[in-house]
Amino acid sequence: MPDQVKRLSVIFILVISALVIVRYLLIPPTFGKLGHYRARALEDAKALPVKYAGREACLECHDDVGDALGKSYHRGLSCEVCHGPGAKHVKSEGDVELVVPGKRKDCLRCHQFLSSRPTGFPQVDPLQHNPVKPCITCHDPHEPGPPRAPADCSGCHTTIAKIKGVSRHVSLKCETCHTTKAQHKLDPRKFRASIPAEREFCGKCHAKKAKGSSDIPQVDIRLHGGRYLCWECHNPHNPQGE
Amino acid sequence: MEQLIHQLYSALQNVTGFIYPNEIELQWSILIVIYPYITGLVAGAFILASLVKVFNVKEVSPTYRLSLLTALAFLIVAPLPLLAHLGHMERSYEIFLTPHLKSAMAVFGFVYLWYLMVVLLLEIWFDYRKDMIEWGNQSRGLKKLFYRFLVLFSKDTSSEALAFDKKAVRVITIIGIPSAFLLHGYVGFIFGSVKANPWWSSVLMPVVFLFSAIVSGIALVLLLYMIATMLRGEKLDMRCLDRLADFLFYSIIVDFSLEMLDFIHRLYQSEESIKIISQMVSSRLFVSLIVIQILIGTLVPLGTLFFIKITSLNEELRRLLYFLSAILVQIGIFSTRWNVVIGGQLFSKSFRGLTVYKMELLGVEGLLVGIAFLVLPFIILYVLMRILPPWSSPGPGADENSSKQLQPQTQP
């Protein structure tokens, strides 16, 4: 074997040995037994103290609150989402107090406006929606429906109202395009508002020869945009936006 | 949180059509553009080096060692943008300790290690061994010890030992070619295998990446050779330059043909994504794809190199045009990487809307860090060239004036 190969071999043997030693020292013994992770991690996780008691445990004492909550919009929430981990509270039979959230920021964690939240989910702009006033003065978290039917649509559809408010459709009332039953304000999911379904609806104002101001953009409603419906390209609440 | 919302609001201003909330902000930034660009330069520079040793192209031998050192300098930097993007660089060694063989990204660690340790370092070591022994003998003190250490205290310069070195370099280069293909083909594979993304998902992706790597590697070594020779006050070897330009010309043709094949294939297939992709190409990517990548980065250098081939321009004009073409090619290949990485994230998976990429200036994912990663290989290359001069000289410690008289080494 040439001299240079011997010298290189020493280096390679050293590197490989170092890797083997480091592997031996650093890889946890149970790594790979169940998958590409440390199997003992499961035992470690199991050994952690249980912090949450679960909804059932809460209902054993607070069944009255549980009944109210079960009929409200918050029925999907577990008590400990708002009140924090309750295992100690249950174990001590109430001696360890739970968290009682009451500040605006507690509610805003879910109800502050975020564009990625689903439409229809109650979202508010904290700067405009009764600023400074704690939410619980008007809303009962265990029965969080609005204290009274909102006076107009913007009470719930704040985002749309804000977008429309600076658009060319600002002067249009919501009822111009949507019809609703009176119960919609009290039970919006059961009594839904109507949504235009045909391009002819937009054509009432935007088709050629439609009646209205000469400032209203008008197009050949049959040909414009091919097979797409108007709102697939134009946001009706912000029609001049891209 | 508020800062994030503010960012999303500003990004929302430029969103068109319908887009899912998690697509508004791009997750793979400029650093992920730089990573395939740098890796491509490594593979390309190495393929150029292999022309001398495997395919016996004697004309380009002045660039042989420069190509190897360039490949090494860029290979050292190649994983850094990835690690900076992922965060926790200090944990990166774990990929070697607990290898996850079903993950292509985890296997890259081994491809990288193989290429660094078995291909590049070994080839450079065998190629420079005789010179390092000589430089060690000519130096004194710490420098002598440094060179003696680099050569692993080997002293054998017998003709048998040198013949073995030569043979070893050839064998390693032969192994190195598929390794270089693997290194950059892998990068293309990572994108090509994302089946949910029609802009990336293509079996041609690794091949396109490979040929664009060869194009960028040749162009970079051509640039470096011209600059280094000018800085050394030497005369450029025009036969070498002409031959390099030939290879650049042919590799651009293959690369461009493959890219066009890919485009035509997509257009003809006309899958459901074609509408949004056409919209993206004609709006968001128009400048970076049509103008920079295709027009300035491909057609202009291709036309220039073709013009040089069919006319008999004087040396000075040829040098100037080669230089400009190589710079344009670099810009073109960088925008190729940009268009792949950024382009693939600009359209919604609903195929109904487009977003924008707003690059940060500061911060880990920012422009300044990106520029630093692009400059770093050149600093490393400068240091490597000081330690291991690619052109024959009486030794790094020798008189500067005398080294200027030397010719580029044709037969290492």
Which residues of chain B lie closer than 8 angstroms to A8, CB-CB?
122, 125, 152
Please state the domain extents for chain B: 14-390
Secondary structure string (H, E, C) spanning A161-202:
HHHHHCCCCCCCCHHHHCCCCHHHHCCCCCCCCCCCCCHHHH
CA distance, residue B106 to nearest chain A CA (Å): 12
Using the predicted structure, report yes or no on whether residue A19 has a pLDDT greater than 60: yes
Which two three-digit tokens encode residue B265? Answer: 């294939």
Cβ-proximal residues to A72 (8 Å cutoff; 6+ apart), any chain:
A142, A143, A144, A145
Q: Is A171 on the interface with B (CB under 8 A)?
A: no
Distance CA A146, CA A98 (A): 26
- CA of A10: which chain B residue's CA is closest? B152
Using the predicted structure, report yes or no on whether residue B127 has a pLDDT greater than 60: yes
Distance CA A242, CA B356 (A): 13
Which two three-digit tokens encode residue A79? Answer: 């008590």
Which residues of chain B lie closer than 8 angstroms to A23, CB-CB?
97
Q: In this predicted structure, what is the pLDDT of residue B406?
A: 39
Query: Sorting pLDDT into bands at 50, 70 and 90, what band is B1?
Result: low
pLDDT tens sequence across B317-367: 999 999 999 999 999 999 999 999 999 999 999 998 999 998 888 888 899
Among B41, B35, B37, residue whose Cα is nearest residue B335: B37
Helices (H) and strands (E) in chain B, counts: 17, 2
Contact check, Cβ <8 Å, A36/B100: yes
Distance CA B136, CA B138 (A): 5
Contact check, Cβ <8 Å, B152/A242: no
Query: Sorting pLDDT into bands at 50, 70 and 90, what band is B400?
Result: very low
Residues above pLDDT 90, as percent of chain A: 49
Using the predicted structure, report yes or no on whether residue B288 has a pLDDT greater than 80: yes
Enumerate residues 10 to 29 of chain A having a beta carbon within 8 A of any beta carbon in chain B.
10-11, 15, 19, 22-23, 26-27
CB B396 within 8 A of CB B386: yes
Measured at the CA of B88, the angle between CA B41 and CA B75, to 5 degrees, comes to: 15
Distance CA B126, CA B49 (A): 14
CB B198 within 8 A of CB B279: no
**Which range has the worst mean pLDDT, A69-83, A85-99, A147-161, B251-265?**
A147-161
Q: Is A44 on the interface with B (CB under 8 A)?
A: no
Query: Sorting pLDDT into bands at 50, 70 and 90, what band is B402?
Result: very low
How many residue contacts between A and B have a Cβ separation below 8 Å?
47
Distance CA B218, CA B400 (A): 29
Q: What would the mean pLDDT of B381-409 be, rounded to a whole number?
A: 62
Contact check, Cβ <8 Å, A4/B117: no
Distance CA B278, CA B199 (A): 11
Cβ-proximal residues to A216 (8 Å cutoff; 6+ apart), any chain:
A205, A206, A210
Residue type, B73: A
- CA of A242: which chain B residue's CA is closest? B16
Enumerate residues 111 to 150 of chain A having a beta carbon within 8 A of any beta carbon in chain B.
114-116
Distance CA B313, CA B246 (A): 15
Q: What would the mean pLDDT of B302-321 be, rounded to a whole number?
A: 94
Q: In this predicted structure, what is the pLDDT of residue B136?
A: 93
CATH code, B14-390: 1.20.1630.10
**Which range has the worst mean pLDDT, A56-65, B15-24, B62-71, B75-84?**
B15-24
Contact check, Cβ <8 Å, B164/A27: no
Using the predicted structure, report yes or no on whether residue B264 has a pLDDT greater than 50: yes
CB B221 within 8 A of CB B67: yes
Residue type, A136: I
- How many other CB atoms are there within 10 angstroms of residue B257's CB atom? 11
Which residues of chain A lie closer than 8 angstroms to B164, CB-CB?
2, 4-5
Q: In this predicted structure, what is the pLDDT of residue A112?
A: 87
- CA of A231: which chain B residue's CA is closest? B17
Contact check, Cβ <8 Å, A11/B12: no
pLDDT tens sequence across B48-101: 999 888 888 889 999 999 999 999 999 999 999 999 999 998 988 888 888 888
Measure CB to CB from residue A115 to each of B8, B96, B165 and give the nearest one: B8
Query: Sorting pLDDT into bands at 50, 70 and 90, what band is A119?
Result: low
Measure CB to CB from residue B97 to each of A8, A23, A242 and give the nearest one: A23
Using the predicted structure, report yes or no on whether residue A189 has a pLDDT greater than 80: no
- CA of B165: which chain A residue's CA is closest? A4
CB B6 within 8 A of CB B182: no
DSSP state of B88: -
Using the predicted structure, report yes or no on whether residue B5 has a pLDDT greater than 80: no
Cβ-proximal residues to B81 (8 Å cutoff; 6+ apart), any chain:
B31, B32, B34, B35, B38, B370, B373
Query: Sorting pLDDT into bands at 50, 70 and 90, what band is A159?
Result: confident
Measure CB to CB from residue B16 to each of A7, A32, A242 and give the nearest one: A242
Residues above pLDDT 70, as percent of chain B: 94
Using the predicted structure, report yes or no on whether residue B403 has a pLDDT greater than 70: no
Helices (H) and strands (E) in chain A, counts: 11, 0
Q: What would the mean pLDDT of B303-321 be, rounded to a whole number?
A: 94
Distance CA A31, CA A39 (A): 6
**Which range has the worst mean pLDDT, A23-32, A180-189, B221-230, B262-271?**
A180-189
Using the predicted structure, report yes or no on whether residue B404 has a pLDDT greater than 50: no
Q: In this predicted structure, what is the pLDDT of residue B124?
A: 95
